[in-house]
């Protein structure tokens, strides 16, 4: 893939991920649990990881977080998002590389580690590690949303890969 085509592809995928994140913020979905959401933007990241590989997935993720942070978030929310996004990406990349985990398993790890990364930031931000008691809730909700997105990605990936002409599939 040429450099220009790669740049345009990464920018478009980051735009799609950002739009999904924005749409998720606009949908009234209140679980009553702080910080719990589906994480629709992560669907794009996991698909890019499987279709284009880690470098492009990281670029899409970082660009999405950066642009969303500038447009929609304050400084502290941006830092929460950045730390959660990086933790999520590293976990998904590491599990994907092993070849042992299914797409749903990789996505579940992404959801769990996103929440864990944000919880670490919350502990630092608040100056108290008492937030660790919220970890079981975030593990369960991260695993559930990751599983849901993993199932969707499993359905979409073969079709999308075929449409894009990618050789790297599940």
Q: Mind listing the domains of the chain with CATH numbers?
A: 3-164 (1.10.1760.20)
pLDDT at residue 1, rounded to an integer: 63
Residue 69 · residue 78 · CB < 8 Å = yes
Q: Is the pLDDT of residue 87 over 90?
A: yes
User: pLDDT digits over 38-79, tens only?
Assistant: 788 888 889 888 888 888 889 888 888 887 777 667 677 778
The mean pLDDT value of the chain amounts to 82
Q: Considering only 11-20, 91-100, 131-140, which range has the smallest mean pLDDT? A: 11-20
pLDDT classification of 94: cutoffs 50, 70, 90: very high
pLDDT classification of 163: cutoffs 50, 70, 90: low
pLDDT at residue 165, rounded to an integer: 61
- Closest C-alpha to 1, from 52, 46, 48: 52
Rounded to an integer, what is the distance from CA 34 to the centroid of its chain? 18
Residue 14 · residue 63 · CB < 8 Å = yes
Query: Coil, strand or helix: which one is 38?
Result: coil
């Amino acid at each position: 893939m040429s450099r220009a085509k790669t740049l345009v592809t990464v920018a478009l995928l980051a735009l799609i991920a950002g739009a999904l994140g924005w749409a998720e913020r606009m949908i009234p979905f209140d679980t009553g649990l702080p910080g719990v959401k589906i994480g629709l933007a992560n669907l794009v990241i996991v698909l890019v990881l499987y279709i284009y590989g880690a470098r492009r997935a990281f670029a899409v993720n970082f660009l999405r977080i950066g642009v969303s942070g500038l447009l929609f978030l304050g400084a502290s929310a941006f830092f929460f998002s950045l730390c959660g996004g990086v933790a999520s990406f590293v976990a998904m990349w590491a599990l994907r590389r092993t070849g042992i985990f299914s797409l749903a398993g990789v996505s579940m790890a992404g959801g769990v580690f996103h929440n864990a990364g944000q919880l670490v930031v919350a502990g630092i931000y608040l100056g108290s590690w008492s937030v660790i008691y919220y970890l079981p809730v975030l593990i369960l909700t991260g695993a559930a949303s990751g599983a849901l997105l993993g199932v969707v990605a499993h359905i979409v990936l073969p079709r999308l890969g075929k449409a894009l002409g990618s050789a790297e599939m599940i």
